[in-house]
Amino acid sequence: MLERDGDEVVRATSIVCYAAGSRFTRHVHELGEELFMLDGEFRTEHTALVRWALATYFNPHRYYGGEEILVVEGVFEDEHGRNPAGSWIRSPHLGQHQPFSREGCIILVKTGHLVTEAEVAP
């Protein structure tokens, strides 16, 4: 399991890659499988593997739909703390931060997937 909400034990995160042009009917995975897209697009989700050089400082930003970061290598930091390799950071819809890396890092970033239907403007 890549991530867990509270004490949940039944949801698993799968790493998938869909072929270009794939389409799926709308459906719900109630307490079931969660998808982690490495390539392609699924709803409003975006995923990127990013390498930050030594002393990289990013602009403050707010993320629509939330953001999750897996620190693969090095140390990723922001005003909330220091996150070494292996850290998983989960930030809510409309959260904000000003990230940086003094030492450099490689991060896997996923955004846009933590917004509920109720939070989407009509």
Which pLDDT band holds residue 1 (cuts at 50, 70, 90)?
very low
**Does 61 reside within a domain?**
yes
**Does 1 reside within a domain?**
no
Domain, as residue range, for 104: 13-119
**Does 5 reside within a domain?**
no
Burial classification of residue 118, based on how many CB atoms lie within 10 Å of its CB (0-12 exposed, 13-18 middle, 19 or more buried): exposed
Q: What is the pTM of this model?
A: 0.66
Write out pLDDT tens, residues 24-54: 676 666 655 555 555 555 566 788 889 999 9
Number of domains in the chain: 1
**CATH assignment of the domain containing 29:** 2.60.120.10
CA distances 103 to 30, 71, 84, 117, 120, Å, are: 40, 13, 10, 38, 37
**Does 4 reside within a domain?**
no
